[in-house]
Amino acid sequence: MPGGTIAVASDHAGFDLKELLKRDLQAAGREVLDLGTNSTESVDYPDYGTAMAEAIASGRAQWGVLVCGTGIGISIAANRNPKVRAALAHDVTSARLAREHNDANVVAFGQRLIGTETAREALRVFLATKWEGGRHAARVAKLSKGCSQ
Ligand code: RB5
């Protein structure tokens, strides 16, 4: 598992899974930065995706875990920052490939869509998998510049 601080963030619809994954990370001895939310009271997912982007872009965290109802809105919000490569994962394979091919630094889950045990294993695999580099390097570099280049 690579080192570094792991930020976690969710909206209300992802709160329970975010808390569970946070506890798993802490039990594994990881440094965790919890960006909220802190309850199931309704909030707006862009606020938490943006908070994640700021934590990654500033270097306060090296990795991120996002959860909302579907994982879609909160990952869209985070990905508006070019320092973020947030991958929405529905299973262990997509989590692994997000690291191997895309060098994703943030993984997103949909609490309403993914099983709890699948999310836990997908996060373990995401954090344990190295980027392959090689043929993927130029493609990943283009993500930071914008796709038209
Ligand atoms: C909240 O109801 C829900 O819209 C949000 O968690 C997320 O799924 C949006 O993409």
User: When comparing pLDDT for 144 and 35, which is higher?
Assistant: 35
Q: Is 109 in the pocket of ligand 1 (CB under 6 A)?
A: no
Q: Is the pLDDT of residue 20 over 60?
A: yes
Does 25 reside within a domain?
yes
Q: Is residue 124 part of a domain?
A: yes
Could you tell me if residue 85 is inside a domain? yes
Q: Please work out whether the CB of residue 68 comes within 6 Å of at least one atom of ligand 1.
A: yes
Distance (Å, whole) CA 64 – CA 34: 10
Residue 113 lies in a domain: yes
Structural domain range at position 74: 6-144
Residue at 105 is within a domain = yes
CATH of residue 91's domain is 3.40.1400.10
Q: Ligand 1: distance of its center to the CA of 88 in Å? A: 13
Please write the tens of the pLDDT for every residue from 39-96: 999 999 999 999 999 999 999 999 999 999 999 999 999 999 999 999 999 999 999 9
45 in contact with ligand 1, CB cutoff 6 A: yes
* Ligand 1, atom nearest to 14 Cα: 6
Do the domain assignments include residue 149? no
Q: Half-sphere exposure of residue 113, counting CA atoms within 13 Å on the CB side?
A: 13
- Strand arrangement of the beta sheet that strand 32-34 belongs to: 32-34, 6-10, 63-68, 106-110, 86-88
Digit-coded pLDDT (tens) for 110-130: 999 999 999 999 999 999 999
Closest Cα to atom 5 of ligand 1: 69
Catalytic residues: 68, 101
CA distances from 139 to 84, 88, 108, 135 (A): 15, 18, 21, 8
Task: Tell whether 1 is covered by a domain.
Answer: no
Question: Which pLDDT belongs to residue 149?
Answer: 46
Report how many domains make up the chain: 1
pTM value is 0.96
For residue 107, tell me if it sits in a domain: yes
* H or E stretch covering 88: strand 86-88
